[in-house]
A and B are shown apart, each in its own frame.
Chain A
Amino acid sequence: EAGVAQSPRYKIIEKRQSVAFWCNPISGHATLYWYQQILGQGPKLLIQFQNNGVVDDSQLPKDRFSAERLKGVDSTLKIQPAKLEDSAVYLCASRRPLAGGEQYFGPGTRLTVT
């Protein structure tokens, strides 16, 4: 089966600009996650979707970050306006609705804010 797809792979923007990332999960995976991974750290969950509904966005900086998952398939994560500290890799993952089910990760988007 095809893996989790993400685009773009790399993005460089200036602070205060906006940026959007796209994720296409594995077909049939109802749960979708966005993680932020700052250099030298483990990934940190930003938001979790179940189909097209938000399950957990408690760690999403809502003043500048937004995410949506229309039709319960693809998802976009947006940052507006970007700050220097948003430089990180943004990982998308999906999983089947099984207890303890494995999360499958995409290749990530490396964002550099200058």
Chain B
Amino acid sequence: AQTVTQSQPEMSVQEAETVTLSCTYDTSESDYYLFWYKQPPSRQMILVIRQEAYKQQNATENRFSVNFQKAAKSFSLKISDSQLGDAAMYFCASLRAQKLVFGQGTRLTINP
């Protein structure tokens, strides 16, 4: 079975600083996709960033970037210049056979 593990239930960071959220996964697939989703209190799941496993280059979306370590099955999310609007639950997810498997989530708090 495919599993995704987020070992940090909660994280906090000062506004304008950088924070890294951890994620490890387990898959037997050779080709797969990994995602980070953000879920604010409104409950709407919003895609933050996507990584294709066959690409060696780490994905980047503005202030969000990932550190994808395929051999270690690690997929961490770095948020630079943290903003108050970044406060939310963050979920790591892997895609297999068109189905997403989510981790338990990390609650991120931004301190002004």
Q: A residues near B, CB below 8 A?
A: 31, 33, 40-45, 48, 55-56, 89, 91, 93, 95, 100, 102-103, 105-108, 110
Q: Which residues of B contact A93 (CB under 8 A)?
A: 45
B: number of interface residues (CB 8 Å): 24
> Across the interface, do B50 and A100 meet the contact criterion of CB distance under 8 Å?
yes
| B residues 45-69 touching A (CB-CB < 8 Å) | 45-47, 50, 52
> Across the interface, do B33 and A43 meet the contact criterion of CB distance under 8 Å?
no
Known: A42-B91, A100-B33, A100-B52. A105 touches B45 (CB 8 A): yes
Instruction: Report which of A41, A103, A108 forms a contact with B100, defined as CB distance below 8 A.
Output: A103
Among B14-22, B70-78, B79-87, B101-109, the stretch in contact with A: B101-109
> Across the interface, do B98 and A48 meet the contact criterion of CB distance under 8 Å?
yes
Distance in angstroms from B104 CB to nearest chain A CB is: 6
